[in-house]
Structure 1
């Protein structure tokens, strides 16, 4: 029986060990048996330890071109109860891990085969060794084999592919923005919403028949209702119940509006009793005969509606004519409205019109507010509520960030930098004793008091000899200058800085509290100071920005990424 372990490449032959253990003899009695037992126990322990877990590693290719990816694979065979921890992070140096894939799991009887893959690459040619990788299985630690990989250059045949000089910069006309499209779209949406509000709320709609009747005086409305009753087909179909219901409603409605305001809800006896009292009180000059006629028609209508009475159709027509006459008599019996009553009626109508107009205004305001809030919420969910708020209200840093930036070179040797505004030449004061030793050019946008500012300063020192400019001392001098301008609580962090085109310098950054132009309180701000030196030249870039301002942070990042010092690089 043989057990093969790939990691350490150890082969243990149990039969040979057992044979050698049994052949080994000592003169002492019983000792050979003891040796056999010890050897067998050692083999069994070693066998079980290696059988519980096996770790192997491999790559899909040992020779790649610069930038190509190779797949590094670790395979672990273990039982189902063991916890396996694979290597994570950049543990494959000098190769770079660009992707870590998920673990593939295969079950084989009572064991698991776990396969972990990594994507590795290298951007420099040469021979590299992937170091051993540590794999933890349960409480034990295993190491994979180290592997060698060749990274080859990409061969370029210059006889077939010629080399050419860099082409000069071509000026490209600035394309116009699409702001006018957004303006037109906004105006179109506002026009559609305005039209819908006008059409459904403010437009004077044609009145329906019911609305037209409601605008008529009670007498004219009652007469028109009788004409409509004549046009109905109730009598043709001998539908006397509906006929008398409409007929009595017409006279009751007229009496309710002009004589007794509870005529619609009163019973026939109550209504007749009320009319009699009004007559006796000389409030309505209506005859006893008129009251009797109304009583007779109303009681007949009650019999038809509630007792299933069936009067003759001709009698129904007669009752209709009687009601027509009684409406005229009631109108004649009513006193003429006084000027006061007419004025009250006019005021009532004007008040109703004002209520209608007020209702339309309220509905328009509510709809407009709803649309504004819905638009704000929609854009807020899509772009962020702070961004939408700053766009509507305005934000100084946001306007600078989204404005037209300027890329220019300042000083000599030139410092190329992109800024939201052009930096203007500024004459900084130089002590009298230093004027003979240093010449300085400075370009600024804003000041420390404005919180956001950008400055580029180039200082040329004379008679330096073999002395070199100490960037850290220069940084301390700049910090003291900011303190002299009123800055307080300056936090200083220093680190190496490399521009996108490879120029190296010192970066000093941190926070400070700067005086304000508008108040006595100190405002918190961030600052970044970049310093570069070449021979006897010191180049400085200082940026100050408001603290906790995401737009300002984006501007600072954009400015730092644009810095180029070609002369300093040479």
Structure 2
């Protein structure tokens, strides 16, 4: 009997020392633009630091964060996010990750329904009767200028596409070294921002992925800037120009960048430094990829 009591006391004491995460959503049904609040609390920290997404970046795209406040103490952490949604439909707050020491705690997911409280039966009364007004040329310009500008933009886009299709491929084939040098300069600018040293991993990966996508678009003639990550990886695998080593590095860095963007992983300084060096190596080796592909086509 004493052994059982001793074991139970050990279990109870260990449970009391373990971190515990709780969350509360104020409302699960909202009107358009109505304010809601999500509260997340973590207890029994024992002095451990809590890491999560930065302020105003915790919730997904459709949730407009109004206020994001964080309170903490040695043994307690609380985060309150006030937000609103300006689209009708059902939206999900996914599981949110909070890193405490070496442990990842997950706040539960919530589903929210947003409704438009206005109905078809609502009557809108005019304040005053309609009046006819004579319009001048300036008035017509104000009314239709956006349509005119849009039409001009479409024409310019068509001309640009024709020029790119006609001359762009020829220029890109003759200037892989120029693309490489320009990208290396962009990478130097990125490293000088010291995101790695300051631990700002989200900003680091956002800019690193943007630079890499522009580079792939120019050097390998793939639409990297408009493709989703999975589609881009498939396109790179189907492309004969990119070497397997470069393809593997790009895939690993791009997938890690997506996880960082949605706060699913928290890379350390060594990982960020390695990803930067690997992307720089890909850029430097790309000239050989292009030269080998041109030689293969000539044969």
- TM-score normalised by the chain length of structure 1: 0.24
Query: Higher helix proportion, which one?
Result: 2
Instruction: Specify which structure has the bigger relative contact order, considering alpha-carbon pairs within 8 angstroms and separated by 6 or more residues.
Output: 2
Give the structure-2-normalised TM-score: 0.42
Please identify the structure whose Cα radius of gyration is greater: 1
Structure richer in strand, relative to its length: 1
